[in-house]
Each structure stands twice: as structure tokens, then as C-alpha cells.
Structure 1
Amino acid sequence: MLSRTVRISARQWQQCRYSSTVALNECLSAIDAYNSEINAFTSINDRALLHKKALESDARQTNGTLKSELDGTTIAIKDNFCTTFLPTTCASIMLKDFTSPYDATVVKLLDDAGALIMGKTNMDEFGMGSANIHSVFGPVINPCSHGDEIKRSAGGSSGGSAASVAMNMCTAALGSDTGGSVRMPASYCGLVGFKPSYGRCSRHGLVAYANSLDTVGILTRNVQDCSKGNLDIISNYDIQDPTSIPNELRTELDANDTQLSLQFQDDLKGLVVGVPQEFYVDSLSDEVLDVWRKGIQHLESLGAKIISVSIPHVSLALPAYYIIALAEASSNLARYDGIRYGHRSPDNEDHLLYEETRSSGFGDEVKKRILLGTHVLTAGTYETLFLPAQSARRLIQKEFNGVFKQPNLLYNENTQEGERERAHILLVPSATSEAPTLNNKKSGIDEYINDVMTLPANLAGIPAITVPFRNTPNPIGLQLMGQYGYDQFLLRVADIMTSKKSPI
């Protein structure tokens, strides 16, 4: 099957390769052939409309009037982004067949850019999971195990988005990343998964799991597709999102980001890469440790200097994250009561309507997280759990600021006292293991621990990207993390790192 990347799509017509229409047909053929097994898509856009838009894109290519680098490119959307043209279910009975009255800002930006939105992708219900097994539509199968007797997880909660890209059902996909839900599936499926700085991309129209942690993410086959074809299109300021980075700060961040990015063109000479010792945890598999070491060696071969750094309180990230995330989830999901939003129980007794609606509308994992979050917010527990978790989060943010050379413009405080050497970026694994098999039933605690590598970046609000490093027998990715606001710089380093190596 022919595959296409964003960076060449705008030139393909002129170079007599193939049109957007042909590319669309290839993706639709892949969906028809494999989606029943892979289970990546929950709904497909109207095919006649897609063909019409593809023909219009081909005409613009001929006339030299392309709307953007994404014009005519096939893109999938995770099923927790609101759309007017397809149901937005969040993989839950609670929102079955719900169609939003408006499009999420990032969806509208993609549509305005001429992208061909293929459909909505499977996910863990309301984004709560790391294996894409908590879905009313069933689990997503990792394309790397396609044709094998033993099936592997595509990762969660954006497993459908990852699988759709990996199986050539689309060129790129949007996901959401609350604690690693883009970066972990990318590692499992051999893709690039990018979580921008918090506030870089609008969350308006993204169904909330945990407001202070949710981030719009991007999954592609290579790093350039993330930066040129996606981030540039969807990273505008949005007045409808109160957490969107303001234009004044955005301008200052972008200026610093561009200035640093220009220092690195063909190699990484002068780059300082930090390896946080606290990420060396007992749950890391031997295979991941081996890939991590080879990643360090590869960066050294490109001219980077490797140093050891310390983020002492990152060990508190896992409990702090789950206290904060579940508390916010409990608050956010309280709106689904059968009266104003979502599924309504057929029970006619008024005093049972709320109870029956939420009991039948939510899956077991979501109910568990709501109960835990509600407990965290109760009197007494709020003071002993929630407030200390917020304090731990702030401490972790300060320690991240202290290991980077670049200052965090969100804070006026000086976190860079002392003589210790600091890093431009950090390198850590994206997951503790290769993709687990679907018949490997982990306990809830084990599933939560699986996020230990990715969730610190969400707590700190910093950009992070998974890049594929080992492709066989099962993919393993490595994760680069950068200072807040330095998204293009991080993408530049990731691009050099991946374009200058032979996969292992």
C-alpha cells in the first residue's frame, strides 16, 4: 500500500505521483480491509462528502491555491472531540449516538485547512485507561500483532488514533493526552506521538477528563508531519478556551523557541541532554532499558552531551497525578445525570433516575475513578490528599524548571540558582515495556503504574514527544521532554534524532 506524508502531500499532484482522491481511496480500502479486526474507528465520515472534498483539493493543487500543507491530507479524530457531522461518544453508553451542536476548535481548524477528516477513533471510555480496553466498542488491536494469534494492546487512551495511523488508514490523527494517552500508544505502535505545551492547542470542544491536565495531541509516522502539517495549523490562540496561551505570551515563547531551534540544523552539537535518574524504576523491562541506553549512545553520536540530572520529587508524580486527575474527573462527569446531558435510564421512578442512569451509563473503570475522585474531594480527605497533591505538583514543576537551561516564562521565580549543569531536553522511556498482550489482564494498580513515564510531563505542563526507536519484534519508543513553550525546538531535536539513525 502506498503511504503518504503531510510534508509531500502538497506537491504530489505537480510531481505526478497521485492525487488526494487516490490517497483517500487507499485509506478507505485499508479501513474496509482491516478495521473489523483492528477496531480503530468507531464511525466513518460520509464517503461521498470525502470524495467531493478530495476532488476539490486536487483542483486547488492544480491551480496552486492550496489552503495549507494539510490540504487533501487524511486525518482521523479521537472520539472525544466534538463534531457536528459524526457522533461524539467518548466510547461510552452515556453518550451513545450523541452528536455535538458545534465542532471542537481544532477540528474546525483542520477542516478549514482542507484536511479530509476520515472519522472518529476508538478510545478508553472518557479517556480513562492506558490499554484501550475500557471501551463500549471493544479493545483496539495493535497493528504490530496483525495476523498473529496473540493480539497486543495498541495503548490508551488514544489507541484507535494510533492504530489508524499505523495501519495506513490515515496520514495523521488527533488524540488527547492527559497522562500519556498519545505518547504511550505511539510507543506501542511505532509512531511519533506529540503532546504540546499545556495551552498551546485549544481544548474547546474536547470532552473534559481532567481540565488542568488534558492536552490535544498528535500522532503521525514522522516528526515533520507533527510540526509542519499539524501543530502549525491547530496551535492558534482561542478565546473560547480560558487555558489557551495568550497571544502576547505566545509571541514571546515562539521567538525564544525559534531562536534556539535555529542553532541546530544537521546535527546536535552543543545540545545538552539530561537523563533523570529517578526515571530508572523497578518496573522497566530489560528491553526498554536496552533501547534507552542505545538512545543515549545515538544522541552522543550526533554530537549531544549527556548529563545526569535529578528531579527528586518526581517519585510523587504518580500518586499526585491520580489524586488530581480523578478529583477533576469526578467534578467533570457530574454533569452526566440523565437530565441535562447524556444517556437516561428508562426507570420511571424519579428517585431512582439519577442512580440508574449513572450506574448503567458508565463503565466499570469510569465508575471506579468517579468514586475515588469523589472521595478525594470530601471534607477531611480534601485537606489530607488533594491539597498535598497540588503542593507536590507545584514542587515537581519547580524541579523541572531547575533542570532546564531555558527559563519558564510562566514564572518569575529564579529556579536556576547554583553551579550545576542544566539540559536543553530530557530523554526517558515512553513506557515501561513493549505493548502488552490483550490476554495479559493487569490489575487496576498495574495499569495505573504503567503511566509512570509519561504523566510527569502533564503535571508540569511541558511538551513531550515519543519517537520510535526499536521497530522489531515489537515497537519501543523513547520520550523527549522540553521546557514549557519550546515545542518547535523539541520537534527539531526529535526530527534530527530520528532522521539520522537506523532503526533497531
Structure 2
Amino acid sequence: MTDLTSMTIAEAKAGLASKSFTSLELTDAHLAAIEAARSLNAFVLETPDQARAMARAIDAKIAKGEGGPLAGIPLGIKDLFATKDVRTTACSKILGNFVPPYESTVTSQLWRDGAVMLGKLNNDEFAMGSSNETSCFGPVVNPWRREGSNTTLVPGGSSGGSASAVAALLCMGATATDTGGSIRQPAAFTATVGVKPTYGRCSRWGIVAFASSLDQAGPIARTTRDAAILMRSMAGHDPKDTTSVDRAVPDYEAAIGKSVKGMKIGIPKEYRLDGMPAEIEKLWAEGAAWLKAAGAELVEVSLPHTKYALPAYYIVAPAEASSNLARYDGVRYGLRVPGRSIGELYENTRAEGFGDEVRRRVMIGTYVLSAGYYDAYYLRAQKVRTLIKKDFEDCFAKGVSAILTPATPSAAFGVGEKGGADPVEMYLNDIFTVTVNMAGLPGIAVPAGKDAQGLPLGLQLIGRPFDEETLFSLGEVVEQAAGRFTPQRWW
């Protein structure tokens, strides 16, 4: 049965259609894999009974020829997505054992199309983190290890559970969210494919909010094709989300294998950072050469406001977080720590319920929004954001189809290695990804090589608004040239 877990979604769909195996068999194989891999701490809640019930129901539909585009495919769901009657905590103590009476739009669309839920995946608390070490359920472990070393590595964050579970073959794909790189950075750290769609492409309704103008749901999968298959089900207009865009959802899978001949690929000079590791520079050059060999044209482009993106992001995102997290007051749901007054109840609940990183960001956000500092910080950051967006618009206006950059400044690092004394050290992991969120653009991270210690490295492609199809076509070129990598099983 273990062979069933090593298939891609595309292969599993073909196998289910030809009746080579059932969804129940596929689901059981993944449930067994999850059970054997609890040391990775990727899942915070396993739902085997529900998974088997869903699989049986799908098998009955497949038998009648009624299966949807994801019929029988077992998925993991990031614990930021509300799942009806299934605990959803955002991996924070403050939500306690919250069980939503409703389903997020993205997950409801996956179930509509026949997918099976294996359980809820670990993430950084409220999606605030770049290593999946801030979760109240403890850190997620990356299934990859440095050659000749047993050091426990992080899978990246905030969607670390999603990336780790997909890389370790515990689920065929996973939902994730990206506010400043939380899909693309973990994908790069685990040799998986991660897509951050255009802002507004996937509904945010029913997803626990971090920074509302930046958050976007997307898939993490094993291949570019699998990501395209998942994305088609996840995307779409939702009247319940005012930021959701009313545009037809294309068949993303049809873009896989399309010619990239004649496409202009921008190489931004501002992404060549001082002290950037030589292996990242080499990988970037290799990726550019692969695209050129496939017929694309390489052009140097300038994104002059890139250097301001990270500081501006760490003003905008905490400001929105402090506003969004004001609802966790211990009164209506979640954790409640009593106090002698309503003020004390709020203070006690938040002090005990929020972790260090969440408290830090709420404090920063409250500060930059306060009277006397709003103009100096928040307003200025929003102006910078407009300039960052214009940089990209200027590039695309010159006929550039997509922009190629590294996905991360390094390979995965060890648990506890970064950010202890200096939080900014951790924030620097998002240096190549935050511009995409600030501009609301789509981005994809594709595995492209390994570092000297045998750890995976990824490349990022940034596209024009609502042109994810071009990213899938280009991503497939990189994937085919680089080959696929899987971690050696040690867990």
C-alpha cells in the first residue's frame, strides 16, 4: 500500500479513474503514513474517521461516474482554514478548542470537487513566523536533513506543516496561506511546489485573518501540475469576500507543457544582495539558462523600491494584525482567563493566549497605528507599497511576462538557530517574497537544486496579475530541467 503515497495527484486521478485502487485504499495508505510520521509534528489534528467516511462516499460517486475533478484525493488542511465541526485553532492557545460551525470557502470547494480531508496541519501561530517554531503545538520538523547530520531542521513558515506533510508523502497536497512568503518559502525549504495566487483569486472567507490586505490562500503540492490541479478547485469568486475578484477560473492544468518561446523573463538587479551565498547566485543563473534554452528571452529589469519592501511590510502586516487580533478578548469564544474587571480579563486572556511573536507584532502594529505615529509609519509604508506595485507595473508594461528570482536567501536552517536574540534575523528570510504580497501579484516557488549539504533550494517566478497560467508553464520548465527531489526517509 505504501506505493500509493508516492504518487502525484495526476497519477492518483488516473489510477482512481481506471479502478486500479479505491479512494479508501488511497486514504488508508496516507493515514498509515501520518501515524508513522508523528515525530515530524506536521499534523495537529488527525481526522481518520471523517477521512474514511469521505473516501467511501467518493468511491460510491466514482462508481456511478459522478466523481469531481479531485474525487478521492486525500489532502491536508492548514489549521488556519475553518473546517465545520472540526477544531480550528490557528495553532494559538487563545482559540483553545474552537470548533467552527461553518466551512471556509476554499475548503468547501475542495470537498465539492471530491477531495478527502486527512486532518489539520501545523502552522506558525496566526501565520506569524518564517520557520513554524511559533505554533502552540510545537515546531514542525523538516523531513530533509543535511548530509551526514542529524540536526533537526525547520520546514519554513508559516505553512510548515503543509510543506512538511507534502514532502514526507503524508498527503497528496495541502492548503496553505501566504502573507509575506508563507507558501513559497516553506516550499523552497522542502522541495515542494508552492503557489501564492493573485490577491483576490482565492476567497479569504473562513480563513483566520493575519493581515487582510496581504493574506492569500494557495496550494502546496509535489509537482507544478498537481499545484495547478489544486489551484483550479481553490480559486473562484466568492460574494462573501469583498476582496474576491469576479473572474472566470481558467484550466490551470492546460498551461502545463505549453511553450514559453518568446516570453520575456525579467532578472531584477536589486535581488542581487550583498553577501548572497554563491550557491543561490549559481542556482539563479542555472534557472535563467533553463528558461533561455526553452526559448524564453532574458532581460535585466529594475525594481528600485525592493530595498524598502521588508521594512514597509513589517509595518503594514503588524498594523493589520493588531486590528484583526483585537477580536480575541476571551468574551465570546476561545480561551478565557478571568480578571477582576473587563480590562483585566482582556489583559490576562491575551497575555496567556498569545505567544511571544504574536504579542510582538500586535505591539508593533498598535504602535504604528497610534496617534502621532500613524503618518510617520503606517501612511509612509502604504506609500512605499504603491511605489513597489508601480515598479512591477512598469516592468510588465515593457512586455515582461514574468520575473525570475531566488525563493529564499538560504536552505533550511536548524530549529532554534535563528531569531532567538534578534527577531529581525528571522524576518530576513522573507526578503525575496514580501514584494509579491505588497504588490498583490502571483508567485510560484519551484524546486531547482540542492546546496552543498544536500538540502533543497527553490526558485521563484513572479507573474502579472491573474496570469498564474504563465507561471505554471514556466515553473514546469524549471521542474523538468531540475528533476524532482524527495527526502531520504529517516522518521
Q: TM-score, normalised by structure 2?
A: 0.93
Distance in structure 1 (CA, Å) of the matches to 2:409 and 2:424:
14
Per-residue deviation at 1:399? 1.0
CA deviations on 1:279-299 (whole Å, 9 max, x unpaired) are 111253222222111111111
Q: Which AA in structure 2 matches 1:495?
A: E
Asked if 1:431 corresponds to 2:415, the answer is no
- Give the SS at the match of 2:37: helix
Q: TM-score, normalised by structure 1?
A: 0.90
Asked if 1:13 corresponds to 2:24, the answer is no
Distance in structure 2 (CA, Å) of the matches to 1:294 and 1:503:
16
Distance in structure 2 (CA, Å) of the matches to 1:57 and 1:283:
52
Asked if 1:487 corresponds to 2:488, the answer is no
Alignment of 1:93-492 (within 5 A): 93-145=93-145, 149-227=150-228, 229-246=229-246, 250-251=247-248, 265-282=257-274, 284-404=276-396, 416=397, 421-442=398-419, 443-471=422-450, 473-492=454-473
Distance in structure 2 (CA, Å) of the matches to 1:350 and 1:502:
58
Measured at CA, do residues 61 and 376 of structure 1 come closer, stay the same or move farther in structure 2, by a change above 3 Å?
same
Distance in structure 2 (CA, Å) of the matches to 1:128 and 1:374:
16
Measured at CA, do residues 319 and 351 of structure 1 come closer, stay the same or move farther in structure 2, by a change above 3 Å?
closer
Gaps of 5+ in 1: 405-415
Measured at CA, do residues 14 and 126 of structure 1 come closer, stay the same or move farther in structure 2, by a change above 3 Å?
closer
* Corresponding residue number in structure 1 for 2:489: none
* Corresponding residue number in structure 1 for 2:28: 25
8 Å CA contact 1:4–1:23 kept in 2: the answer is no
Query: Which stretch shows the higher mean deviation, 315-324 or 494-503?
Result: 494-503
Identical aligned residues as a percent: 40
Distance in structure 2 (CA, Å) of the matches to 1:148 and 1:316:
37
8 Å CA contact 2:131–2:156 kept in 1: the answer is yes
Distance in structure 2 (CA, Å) of the matches to 1:282 and 1:23:
48
Per-residue deviation at 1:348? 4.4
Number of equivalences = 476
Q: Which AA in structure 1 matches 2:82?
A: C
Distance in structure 1 (CA, Å) of the matches to 2:482 and 2:184:
20
* Corresponding residue number in structure 2 for 1:413: none
Per-residue deviation at 1:379? 1.1
- Give the SS at the match of 1:160: helix
Distance in structure 2 (CA, Å) of the matches to 1:21 and 1:351:
51
Asked if 1:83 corresponds to 2:109, the answer is no
8 Å CA contact 1:103–1:205 kept in 2: the answer is yes
Q: Which AA in structure 1 matches 2:431?
A: V
Measured at CA, do residues 201 and 94 of structure 1 come closer, stay the same or move farther in structure 2, by a change above 3 Å?
same
CA deviations on 1:439-458 (whole Å, 9 max, x unpaired) are 41332011111101001000
Query: Which stretch shows the higher mean deviation, 212-221 or 482-491?
Result: 482-491
CA deviations on 1:457-487 (whole Å, 9 max, x unpaired) are 0000000000011156101000000001111
8 Å CA contact 2:291–2:477 kept in 1: the answer is no
8 Å CA contact 2:122–2:161 kept in 1: the answer is yes
CA deviations on 1:388-437 (whole Å, 9 max, x unpaired) are 11011011101101101xxxxxxxxxxx4xxxx54110000110000011
- Give the SS at the match of 1:270: coil
8 Å CA contact 1:274–1:422 kept in 2: the answer is no
Query: Which stretch shows the higher mean deviation, 140-149 or 368-377?
Result: 140-149
For residue 7 of structure 2, the aligned residue among 1, 4, 7 is 4
- Give the SS at the match of 1:268: coil
Distance in structure 2 (CA, Å) of the matches to 1:360 and 1:463:
37
* Corresponding residue number in structure 1 for 2:65: 64
Q: Which AA in structure 1 matches 2:92?
A: S
8 Å CA contact 1:7–1:224 kept in 2: the answer is yes
Query: Which stretch shows the higher mean deviation, 184-193 or 107-116?
Result: 107-116
Q: Which AA in structure 1 matches 2:330?
A: G
Per-residue deviation at 1:325? 0.4
* Corresponding residue number in structure 2 for 1:412: none
For residue 41 of structure 1, the aligned residue among 9, 21, 43 is 43
RMSD (Å), alpha carbons: 2.0
Distance in structure 2 (CA, Å) of the matches to 1:205 and 1:456:
25
- Give the SS at the match of 1:97: coil
Distance in structure 2 (CA, Å) of the matches to 1:390 and 1:318:
12
* Corresponding residue number in structure 2 for 1:409: none
Gaps of 5+ in 2: 486-491
Distance in structure 1 (CA, Å) of the matches to 2:234 and 2:306:
31
* Corresponding residue number in structure 1 for 2:488: none
Q: Which AA in structure 2 matches 1:297?
A: A
Distance in structure 2 (CA, Å) of the matches to 1:364 and 1:311:
34
Q: Which AA in structure 2 matches 1:40?
A: A
